Structure 1
Amino acid sequence: MTEAPTFKLSPAVLEEAKRREHAANRRTGRVALLFIAPALLMVGIFLLAPVVFNVVLSFTKWQRFSGLDEFAGLANYQRLVAIPYFSEAMINTAMWVGGALILPLAFGLGLALLLRDIPFQETFKSLFFLPRVLAPTAVGTLWYYVYAPHGVINTISVWVTGQPNDFGWLFEANTITPAIIFTFVWQTLGITMVLLLLGLAAIPKDPIEAARVDGASSWQIFRHVIWPLLLPTVFVVTILNVAAGFTAFDLLWVMANGYPSQRTLSLAVYMYYETFSKSSWAYGASIAVVLSGMVVIVSWALASMQSRVEDRIR
């Protein structure tokens, strides 16, 4: 039996084919760059340029439209360490991030597991999601009167105990941050629940059914089957909620209007207070740089963990 003849291309033909392929790729790249150029331009003008300007501003003495051309070095960052307001704002921001990380995820996951197989699921989902569509200022105003000395909570307390109660939930250092965190959880619980429901719906039923056949309990199925497969969605929800916790402003500004140390409620509020109320724009820029750095570091760490978890699942 005769062998089929083999054909070999000459080096010159191969080189020409590579040259043409490279030229075609370059043309495709130029066309693609042409299409995305407007988006890149918008990102550069409205996102990257302000970020760079803010970083440069934090090393100057700019205050009340003067001092932009005076270099301050690390003076603004040294002031952050020296002033106790910054450390108080850091502690409250850490509480915000912890609350935004744990509470919406815990309650949202519980609701998602509870609602996924019950009748009238869509109705309950709409009810829990409703606070999300409200403006944060409207939510803050609503809950301000709930926590007021003669608001809903104290009125109910008077009905139950028969004792007068005019406790100011938003005027005491020990209760103001937990009270506003609860309001934040109330507003964000719906979107967290919906995202986790989508993650649960994407989990294949075969592993769950196989675990049931093997005699696994509901807790064992959740721990060893559902939770590992749900982790990518959990990380997405966590990143969104942590970023919201770091940058919380609306609820704090509206609900804590009468609190004496309002500026210390979070780094975002402290930054706004120093920048616009005291016109210390360079110092406010340094707070913004620190806050942005914290958000980037934490988000990057969570994204890295998410990538590793997804690799293990695959």
Structure 2
Amino acid sequence: MFKLWYQEFLDYLQNIRNYSSLTIVSYENDLKYFTNFIQDHIGSEITLSKLANLTITDFRSLLFKRSQDNFDSNSTRRFVSTLRSLYKYLAEKHSIQNKAIQVLKSPKTKERIPKAIHQADFPEIESMLDEINDHPWVLKRDIALLTLIYACGLRISEALNIRKNDIQHDYIKVLGKGNKQRLVPLISIAKEKLDQYILSIPYSIEGGSEIFLGLRGKKLQPAVFSRKIKNIRILLGLDESLTPHAFRHSFATHLLENGADLRSIQELLGHSSLSTTQIYTKVDYSHIMDVYRKTHPNS
């Protein structure tokens, strides 16, 4: 019985709220964990009435189980948010009320900030891409993709969703979180790498087609590219923070270090909140002190 509402909720998120496929997968994983725990916890099939009667003790037991299963605090915060969204949906659509979920406190999170990539590491990364790629056009693809993420500050999902007609002469149209579109300047080096890649693609791509393709001509998946970056990190002995997202973070950090203001960086990154930009663009204390000494009149 409950599985009907479970799937109904996921369909609502996908079709009405227009959540991305990756977000839907996260919600589904959270709901599977929740249903498995609750069924074991109450010792019977889940029904909507039993969901309504879960107590704060039940939910705390659920969070304790997650801590035993080594989920970090950020993951559990998202998990609690998923449950609140589920209960909000059930209240609106099926008149299911549960006060306990509203007072359940999420665990405090440690601020996780990826490290910016050192400029000296970029040539090594590009050289390693050359070594591990057997197909010349795939090498051009990977270089174009990394250049675009770093030059434009894109999320990996945003970059992989770019279509041919999104690329203009000096800017690129980007579809971000919540289907919000923004225009990002396209600097010459990024445009050059994109043009070289597009000319090398062995498949036909129309104006409305995604440009970043896998070996079989289908849209390149984030996990495939992330694995490649992980392999490069291991081969070069670089910090484990080297991920596709680290190139986006480096974009923001290097702009800030060179005098860009937070508001402009916020617009370029597509952040709805300035506080998010402040977290992502923290720079080394030594750099801040260096700027202070050079610019403060009394230093």
TM-score, structure 1 as length reference: 0.21
Greater share of helix: 1
TM-score, structure 2 as length reference: 0.22
Q: Which has the higher contact order (CA 8 A, sep 6+)?
A: 1
